[in-house]
A and B are shown apart, each in its own frame.
Chain A
Amino acid sequence: MTNLLILPILIPLLTAIVLIFLSKWITAQRILSAVSAAGTFAACMILLRTVQEDGIQTLNLSSWQAPFGITLVSDMLSVLLVSTSTLITFCVILYSFRSIGKQRERFYYYPAIQFMLVGVNGAFTTGDIFNLFVFFEVMLMASYLLIVIGGTKIQLSESIKYILVNVISSAIFVITVAFLYSVVGTLNMADVSRRIAEIGQPPIITVIAVLFLIVFGIKGAIFPLYFWMPGSYQAPPVPILALFGSLLTKVGVYSILRTYSLFFYHDQPFTHELLNMLAILTIIAGVIGAIAYWDVKKIIIYNIIIAVGVLAFGISLATEEAYKGTIFYLIHDMIIKAALFLLIGVMIKITGTSNLRNMGGLIKKYPLLGWTFLVAAFALAGIPPLSGFVGKFLIVRAGFAEGAYIGSLVVLLSSLFVLYSVIKIFMNGFWKAPADYPGEEKQPVHYLWMPAAILVVVSILYGVGAEGMFPLISQATDALIDPAIYIDAVLKE
């Protein structure tokens, strides 16, 4: 079927439209959004098989030939990311049933989630740089609604900052695309790559590369541009936070990965060195935040920044092994961050606070929750059989092979601080003296634990089955190492 690779975008889009009609019937909304997310995931799996067997899939929308129309490209990297984000969205939808509250559900919560999935999946799949911008906006518009939905005071004040920052970065994105278009005269990503290779990246292209780094750095929260994130992500309720933390920043990282491997690989001593330094600073900034706070949300939010730093470091090395590690770590991080946010969401539901100093003793009543959290924490830090290990190991090994000793050591040391920051949650939240929390009996703890547990199990399987995942990751890496594979698949030469 020619249109297979648009299904992960089209199914959520049609669902979102139908959900607008159903805004008054909450049960119907819940059933439809869960079923459609499951269906999208099934479509992703079929697409994954197809890409694995037949190589990169492309679709020229409206039947216009490649550089002239919009092309959607599904290589292994994007199909892996699309599957991961759909799975996460599915779990978050399940989690929302009992936690988000009727008032928000009636006010277009589920359509917003579906529209956000449209944006994320579209951004991962598109092969056109301006179309990437459009999908970014689809995703961001939905996230504006999600961050402000409910209208509490903190949400209102933080959403203003969030929208302001993103409007500015989107404007820079448009300006950058305009620069790029005026230099190379095309928007199709494969064609852009070919033309940059023809002119051999003159300085103006390097300037554009840095501008892209600024744009995607704001979206993805790398070092000097992450300032908006800790505050904004703290405002919305936990399921929304889990979606943001696992998907939004990763789209920025994916865009850096795509542009820096496909377009701007001719002047690596400058662009990749810059990215390298920013990555190290990002890790350090994230570590400082992660160990400084006693607020569970803040701790995990700063862990996002650390992970973005590690990923950026992997991208900056630009060797085959480093790319493998980056992709492995990217998928692991999306899953485990969503799981951690959902788990601390359960903790916040039970205790009614996000302050770690006021929690304690949860393991007595909720052993299952406690041990799940511990496994997730170990996976995040990268303890060997679990999923965080392989990616970080490959990145660090590639770093040493490339002589990037400082960066590799920072990555290694950061794991220690990551472990410290999440174990702090475990020791203070689950151990210590038990306390009584008013209203905890009424909370649907076991139900809320379930979607998080699904993600943790997936992450364990991903870590234990790293051997099985490896062919897929290698296939994803091939197109990054050798842009000719991508270009040939799109332009059919």
Chain B
Amino acid sequence: MKTNDVILQTASKVVFFIIILFSIHLFFTGHYHPGGGFVGGLMTSGAIVLLLLAYDIETVSKGFPIDYKILIAIGLFFAAGTAAGALLFNVPFLTHAFGYFDLPLLGKTSLHTAVLFDTGVYLTVIGVTMTIIQTIGESE
């Protein structure tokens, strides 16, 4: 008998977006509240893992046509690049800068280069987790 997981798949589709939104919330709230790149990245990959459980590897990789190993490199590049950017201004490595900007819609917002560093962490964590899970899942 062919198993039918229509309930699982339909529920996953809905829950996936909730998890993704929560992970993005965690990522952006990291400076003032608990959260940040690491846990945000883990939760994003958790959402993708949910899809992996509900569907199969081919379907999910069709949905996210990303080479996760490259994603690791991009993440590392973000982090190292932000840190090395300090070299251009001749201040010590890893020195960050921030400022307040009046953005349309959002109003007065503080922007900090630490977010770029955190983006690096976020992408690297997703890349590493998904590489591990995909490699184990695919190997016979």
List residues of chain A with CB under 8 Å of any chain B CB. Answer: 1-3, 6, 10, 13-14, 17-18, 20-21, 23, 59-63
User: Closest CB-CB distance, A492 to chain B, in whole Å?
Assistant: 14
A17 touching B95 by the CB < 8 A rule? Answer: no
Segment 84-102 of B: residues with Cβ below 8 Å from A? 84, 86-87, 90-96
Which residues on the B side are within 8 Å of A61 (C-beta)? 92-95
B96 touching A17 by the CB < 8 A rule? Answer: no
Docked Cα-Cα span, A2 to B92, in Å, equals 6
List residues of chain B with CB under 8 Å of any chain A CB. Answer: 69-70, 72-73, 76-77, 80, 84, 86-87, 90-96
A59 touching B73 by the CB < 8 A rule? Answer: no
Given known contacts A3-B86, A3-B87, A21-B73, is B80 in contact with A59 (CB within 8 Å)? Answer: no
Among A10, A20, A59, A62, the residue within 8 A (CB) of B70 is A20
User: Closest CB-CB distance, A14 to chain B, in whole Å?
Assistant: 6
Given known contacts A3-B93, A63-B95, is B73 in contact with A17 (CB within 8 Å)? Answer: yes
Among B70, B77, B80, B92, the residue within 8 A (CB) of A3 is B92
B92 touching A20 by the CB < 8 A rule? Answer: no
User: Closest CB-CB distance, A131 to chain B, in whole Å?
Assistant: 12
Given known contacts A21-B70, A21-B73, is B80 in contact with A14 (CB within 8 Å)? Answer: yes
A20 touching B93 by the CB < 8 A rule? Answer: no
Among A13, A23, A59, the residue within 8 A (CB) of B92 is A59
Docked Cα-Cα span, A236 to B133, in Å, equals 27
Interface of A is mostly: helix
Docked Cα-Cα span, A63 to B90, in Å, equals 11
B80 touching A13 by the CB < 8 A rule? Answer: yes
B80 touching A17 by the CB < 8 A rule? Answer: yes
Which residues on the B side are within 8 Å of A23 (C-beta)? 69
Docked Cα-Cα span, A61 to B95, in Å, equals 7
A60 touching B84 by the CB < 8 A rule? Answer: no
Given known contacts A10-B84, A13-B80, A62-B95, is B73 in contact with A1 (CB within 8 Å)? Answer: no
Given known contacts A3-B86, A3-B87, is B72 in contact with A20 (CB within 8 Å)? Answer: yes
User: Closest CB-CB distance, A21 to chain B, in whole Å?
Assistant: 5
User: Closest CB-CB distance, B98 to chain A, in whole Å?
Assistant: 13
Closest to B72 in A: A20
B94 touching A17 by the CB < 8 A rule? Answer: no
Given known contacts A3-B86, A14-B80, is B69 in contact with A63 (CB within 8 Å)? Answer: no
Can you spell out 8 A-B residue pairs with CB atoms less than 8 angstroms apart?
A: A1-B90, A2-B90, A10-B80, A13-B80, A17-B73, A17-B76, A20-B76, A59-B93
B91 touching A2 by the CB < 8 A rule? Answer: yes
Which residues on the A side are within 8 Å of B76 (C-beta)? 17, 20
The CB with the most chain B CB atoms within 10 A, among A18, A60, A61, A62, is that of A62
User: Closest CB-CB distance, B124 to chain A, in whole Å?
Assistant: 10
Further pairs besides A17-B73, A61-B92: 17, Cβ < 8 Å: A2-B90, A2-B92, A3-B86, A3-B87, A6-B93, A14-B80, A14-B84, A17-B80, A20-B72, A20-B76, A21-B70, A23-B69, A59-B92, A61-B93, A61-B94, A62-B95, A62-B96
Among B72, B77, B80, B92, the residue within 8 A (CB) of A63 is B92
User: Closest CB-CB distance, B40 to chain A, in whole Å?
Assistant: 21
Which residues on the A side are within 8 Å of B69 (C-beta)? 20, 23
Given known contacts A14-B84, A17-B80, is B91 in contact with A63 (CB within 8 Å)? Answer: yes
Which residues on the B side are within 8 Å of A63 (C-beta)? 91-92, 95
Docked Cα-Cα span, A491 to B69, in Å, equals 41
Closest to B73 in A: A20
Which residues on the A side are within 8 Å of B80 (C-beta)? 10, 13-14, 17
Which residues on the B side are within 8 Å of A6 (C-beta)? 93
The CB with the most chain B CB atoms within 10 A, among A17, A18, A20, A63, is that of A17
Among B87, B90, B92, the residue within 8 A (CB) of A60 is B92
Among B72, B77, B84, B94, the residue within 8 A (CB) of A62 is B94
Which residues on the B side are within 8 Å of A62 (C-beta)? 92-96
Among A10, A14, A17, A21, the residue within 8 A (CB) of B93 is A10
Closest to A70 in B: B94
The CB with the most chain A CB atoms within 10 A, among B72, B87, B96, is that of B87
User: Closest CB-CB distance, A182 to chain B, in whole Å?
Assistant: 25
Sorted from nearest, which 7 A-B pairs have the closest CB atoms? A20-B73, A62-B94, A17-B76, A63-B95, A61-B94, A6-B93, A63-B92
Which residues on the A side are within 8 Å of B90 (C-beta)? 1-3
User: Closest CB-CB distance, A72 to chain B, in whole Å?
Assistant: 8
Which residues on the A side are within 8 Å of B86 (C-beta)? 3
Docked Cα-Cα span, A1 to B87, in Å, equals 9
Closest to B95 in A: A63
Which residues on the A side are within 8 Å of B87 (C-beta)? 3, 10
